[in-house]
Chain A
Amino acid sequence: MTDLPDLRQQLPLGLAPRGYSGTIHRLAAGQAQSTLPSDELESRLIELGFVEGARVEILHEGIVARDPIAVRVDNVTVAIRRREAMAIIVA
């Protein structure tokens, strides 16, 4: 019996293209180059609904460097910059 390989690739939400949809696998606040300390970033993401298991979809992106992005998190739409979205690991 072999472990089934993960069919979906894990990636930071900050790298995902518009139209991407997936589920939050974990938060890795330390990996984002945010100006916020990593606990603070993690807390804020959770407060906006970015928790493990939540469904996310990238609905829109801005004109400069395709940033920021508008992300549907379950029932809410949240605008966030790609830099901070690097902390959200999706699969």
Chain B
Amino acid sequence: MEAPLMHLALVGTPNSGKTSLFNALTGSRQKVANYPGVTVERKEGFFVTPAGRQVSLVDLPGTYSLRGRSPDEEITRDFVLGKAKGEILPDLVLCVADSTNLRLTIRLLLELKATGRPLALVLNMFDIAKRRGVTVDVPKLSAALGVPVVTSIAVRKGGTAELLSLTDEIAAQVQAAPGQNLWRPLSASELRATQREADRIIASSVSLPKRPDTWTARIDSLVLHPVAGLVILLAILFVMFQAVFAWAQPLMELLSSGFDTAGQFVHDTLPSGLLQSFLQNGVISGVGSVIVFLPQIIIIFLFILLLEDFGYMARAAFLMDRIMGGAGLHGRAFIPLLSSFACAIPGIMATRVIDNRRDRLTTILIAPLMTCSARIPVYTLIISAFIPPRDIWGWVNLQGLVMFGLYATGITSALGMSFLVKFLMWRDYQPAPFMLELPDYKMPRLRSIAIGIYTRAKMFLQRAGTTIFAMMVLIWFLASFPQPPAGAEEPAINYSLAAVIGKAIAPLLAPVGFNWQIAVALIPGMAAREVAVAALGTVYAIEGGKEAAEQIGQVLTTKWSLATALSLLVWYIFAPQCASTLAVIRRETGSWKWMALTFAYMLALAYAASFATYNIALALGAG
């Protein structure tokens, strides 16, 4: 008979290396990052021990205690106490410690003992501890705590060997009846007493680091400098956005010519007709025009993952705390908002680290205003078609500058919106406290960055293969049927359903300068922003024949005025064009009201801003 699945859970303070351990053991694709609060959901993975025992491992959000002060800490508490519905109590709780800093974890471990679950202490980052001259008397520590203790190095091959054999040992033991759960929230004086007890145990079996982390101190003296630190933060953001535009270009051109060749091949081999049009205009040029943006999406995630793994994010929160406080935002909101530059969905989920409900709701409300990577295709297309690639001041690319301006507008309006929300809804607003551990800097790990980028790229391609593909088929269908009557003079699309729908909505959008083709593209853009690019491609390709499909950008310059292009750019800064984001807002806030509010305010902003842009541009002669 096969032994039943053994359940293990990883608990520990933020940044102790739980997620790295999870990756090392399960090999699963899972986000690892070096700042408090990156694991906002619990994740499960599976592995087999050397003795052949099947194990399920759960990675939980970091916490300093079981009190559950914020939604992510509640996840950890409920899991350990078995309060979550339908959850199995873990057979073994692995309490993971950063070996260079044991005080807080040992206190947490003493608190965990009251839950009655079998426990083990994992002294992780033992490589760093050794380098700094920390010595641990493991048997003595284990005896003093009354739980097994193992050392581990999550990021080194074979660094989890001791932990694996301990798991086997525990699995082999006759299961003692688990203890009673006697845990209850500790009062301040009990906390103090457990901290004293922890400090006493540490003093008796652990030597303090002989060498402090001088690197962290040196880097911080620059990075946390009140003025230089902010300059560095801005410089990092600026380089990030320039890189997205400049570095990705050669790769994008390569991809784009690859799709052109494929389209041409289909065009040349198939007889002209519906099938040829479907494959060339609907599938290859449609999906291709979205996949071309993969390099840019990889670059933006590369920056975010590097900054996270290095340990910079918590510093950025420190630098921005009071500055964002001016707009009524909490310093902790910086991390979710920065993640929203990649995608608002993980950004909104990352707001779980904010314990104050009002702060959290405000952050969720404005997160979609951060320019997510799905807007990049739209911005890139329009910018490269309408903005000349001139250098100004000798080294700044004008296109990059416009891109930067779009991002900056998103940020500024997010701050303004937050200010307004606090002013209108919560006048009695008092700032919630900001308390955040600043972890030591770590060299980013190639493996964890690679896993992170791989998962993001896979998600993007999956979207391109499913949602975007489906939308493209729909658009192609709408743009191709009904077929024009025999002897028709006008382009075929003018007789299609797409034209009927587009022309019906167009009057609503005329004041902001959009024609009916844009109106058609905006509808599937509701499912995913980047689809709009492909949809425009399809609409104009079917209208203009195969030449148009190859160069959407060039076609646009002949069809749109500069005023229309600028208006569409501005529309995209604000418009609530993403069904998945709205769904996540609904789930995370638990209310339709917040979702509706987000949708309404973004739509209103988009319309107003595009209206203003269009009319100002017209007045300046850009019609």
Contacts and interface: CB of A to CB of B under 8 A. Distances in A.
Interface string B74-117: 00000000000000000000000000110110010000000000
A1 interface: no
Interface of B: 64-65, 67, 69, 100-101, 103-104, 107, 186-188, 191-192, 195-196, 199, 208-209, 216-217, 220-221, 224-227, 230, 314, 317-319, 321-323, 325-326, 331, 430-438
Contact of A68 (B191, B208, B225, B434): B434
A48 B314 contact: no
Closest 8 CB pairs of A and B: A64-B322, A63-B226, A60-B224, A47-B64, A42-B188, A77-B438, A35-B430, A79-B318
Given A41-B433, A46-B195, A47-B107, 8 more contacts: A49-B104, A61-B226, A62-B322, A64-B322, A65-B322, A70-B318, A77-B220, A80-B434
Nearest to A42: B188
A17 B317 CA distance: 21
Contacts of B195: 46, 49, 51
Interface in A34-91: 34-36, 39, 41-49, 51-52, 59-68, 70, 74-81, 83-84
Contacts of A64: 322-323, 325-326
Contacts of A75: 100-101, 103, 208-209
A47 B314 contact: no
Contact of A35 (B220, B326, B433, B438): B433
Taking chain A's interface residues, is the majority helix, strand, or loop, or is none over half, making it mixed?
A: mixed
B433 A84 contact: yes
A72 B430 CA distance: 27
B321 A81 contact: yes
Contacts of B64: 47-48
Given A48-B435, A49-B103, A76-B101, A68 B188 contact: no
Which residue of B103, B216, B317, B319 has the most chain A CB atoms within 10 A of its CB atom?
Answer: B103
9 contacts: A35-B430, A43-B187, A48-B64, A51-B195, A75-B209, A78-B435, A79-B435, A80-B434, A81-B322
Given A60-B220, A64-B322, A78 B437 contact: yes
Contacts of B226: 60-63, 66
A68 B101 contact: no
B100 A46 contact: no
Given A43-B188, A49-B104, A62-B322, A70 B224 contact: yes
A51 B199 CA distance: 10
B435 A76 contact: no
B321 A60 contact: no
A22 B212 CA distance: 18
A48 B224 contact: no
Contact of B220 (A44, A52, A63, A70): A70
